[in-house]
Chain A
C-alpha cells in the first residue's frame, strides 16, 4: 500500500524522559522505544500528557530530564528544524497545516528539506496516496474540511520522506471509515514497509488493533504497557479504556 512513500526506519528512543512547560514537568520519567517496522501507540485520558510527550521528542517542548535519541544521534533538546533533518516527521494534534497557504504550498513546505528537483515527483507520490487532494491543490488549507485537512497534514509530513513518524491523534475528527482506513491501511502500511511509527490515539480499541505495542499514560507517567494481546486481557486496562469488559472481541 505505502509503495514508494516509505523509508527505512530508525529507532526512536526516550529514556527517563521528563518534560513540561516553564520548567514544570508534566511528563515524568517516561521511557519508550519505537522501532522500525512497528507501530507503538500511546493512549491515556485527556490531559495525561500525551501531546506534551510527543512535543518533547521532536523539540517543541523542552526536555527537563532524561534523553531522546534517533538511531545513534542524541536529539535531546535539539531544535525542531534539526530534528526534521534527521528524518523525524511530526504531525501535531492541532495547528497541523498552514491555513493561508494553498494545498500545493503546504506540500512544498513539507518538502522543504528535499533536493529541489525531487519535490515535484514527491508531491505526485503523495497525491497518489491521497487522491482527494489532487483536485484542491490551489485551495487554501484553511478552507478544507476537517478530514481533508488531516489528509493534507499527513501528506505534508510524508513529503519529508520521514523514517520516523510521530503522529498526535491523526484520526481526530475523521469519519469512522476514513479513520479506520488511515490507521489500518496507511499508517500500518508505513510500518510494514519498515518505517517507525509512534502514535497517540484516543480510541483505545482502534489503538490496540493497529499497534504492536501500546503504552498507557496517566498523570504524565506510563502506568501500563505491553502488546495488544496482553492489554486486551488486563483487567485494569479493560476497566478504564474498553468499557468494563463488555466490548471484548
Chain B
C-alpha cells in the first residue's frame, strides 16, 4: 500500500508535467495538422535555455523559466515557418511531414548535445521542504509544478472555450475552408497556435527538467512515446482528452514503476498506446478530431 501511495504521488507529478506537454502537442496536431514529433527536442532545448539563464545569468529558476517558455514558442513558430510550411505547400502526403519532424527532432537533440556535451546538468534550485499527505510525499517544488499545471490547463480551457481566438482555433481545426468562408484568417490562427503551443512546450520542457532533477541533452528523447500515448488515450486532437490521458499515463507509468523496473516506464506507456490503438483508435472520448 505504501509503495502504491508513494508511486501515486510520483504519478501525479509526472502527470502534471505530461498534461502541460500533451495539451500543447494535441493543440498543434488538431489545429495545424502536423504531428510534430520534434516536440521533445524543443522541450529539452527550452529546458537548457532556462538552465543557462539560471546558472550563468544567475536568475532564479522560476524567472529563468520565462526564457524557456519564450524559446519553445519562438522555436516552434520558426520550425513551422521554415520547415513544415514549405513542405505542406507542396501537397505531399502527411507522412512526409512526420518524417521531416523526426529529422528535426534528431537535429534538435543531437545539435544540442554537440553544444552542451554529454554530461548531466541540474538547475540551481532548492526543492523546498517536504509535505506529506495521505501517504504521499511532495516537495514544495513538486507541488508548485502541480499548481502550474492546474493553472495552465484552466487557462487553455478558457482560451478554447471562451475567447474569439480559441473558437477560431477550434473552427479551423474542424473545417478550415468553412472557417475561411466565415472570415477567419486561418493562416494567422495557425501561426498563433504554434506560438501558444510552443510556449506550452517550452514550459513543459522546463518543469520536466526541474522534476527530473538531473538531465542531459537526450533526456526528453523518449518523451514522445508518453505524449503519443496520452494523446491517443484521450483521443487525438481532444485537449480535454489529452489532460485525462496525461493523468492516466502519468499515474500508470509511475505506479507500475513502483513495482517493476522503472527503466520500463516508456514500455508501459507504449503498451497502453498499442492497446488503445487496437481497441479505441479514437481514444476514450474522441470520435475523430474533436477540438
**Who on chain A is nearest to B237 by CB?**
A100
Is residue A60 within 8 Å, beta carbon to beta carbon, of the partner chain? Answer: yes
Residue among B164, B174, B183, B186 making CB contact with A99, cutoff 8 Å: B174
Closest to B291 in A: A100
| Total contacting residues, chain B, CB less than 8 A | 22
B261-291 near A? 1/0 per residue, CB < 8 Å: 0000000000000000000000000010111
Interfacial chain B residues near A90, Cβ < 8 Å: 181
Contact B167 A81 (CB under 8 A): no
- Check if B289 sits within 8 Å of A160, measured CB to CB: no
In A89-143, the 8 Å CB interface with B consists of: 89-90, 92, 95-101, 105, 108-110, 112-113, 116, 142
A98 touches B174 (CB 8 A): yes
Q: For window 133-176 of chain A, which residues contact chain B by CB distance below 8 Å? A: 142, 156, 160
The minimal Cβ–Cβ distance linking A249 to chain B, given in whole angstroms, is 36
Q: Judge if B175 is at the interface, Cβ distance under 8 Å.
A: yes
Contact between chains at B171 and A98 (CB < 8 Å): yes
Q: Is A58 an interface residue, CB under 8 A from the partner? A: yes
| Chain B: minimal CB distance from A68 (Å) | 15
Interface residues of B (CB under 8 A from A): 164, 167-168, 170-171, 173-175, 177-186, 287, 289-291
Give 26 CB contacts A-B under 8 Å: A60-B177, A60-B181, A80-B181, A81-B181, A81-B183, A81-B184, A84-B183, A92-B177, A92-B178, A95-B178, A98-B175, A98-B178, A99-B175, A100-B174, A100-B291, A101-B167, A101-B174, A105-B167, A105-B171, A109-B167, A109-B179, A109-B184, A112-B168, A112-B182, A112-B184, A160-B183
Instruction: List the 10 shortest-distance A-B pairs measured between CB atoms, nearest first.
Output: A84-B183, A80-B180, A113-B183, A98-B174, A100-B290, A109-B171, A81-B180, A90-B181, A112-B183, A80-B181
Query: Which residues of A are at the interface with B, using a C-beta cutoff of 8 A?
Result: 58-60, 79-81, 83-85, 89-90, 92, 95-101, 105, 108-110, 112-113, 116, 142, 156, 160
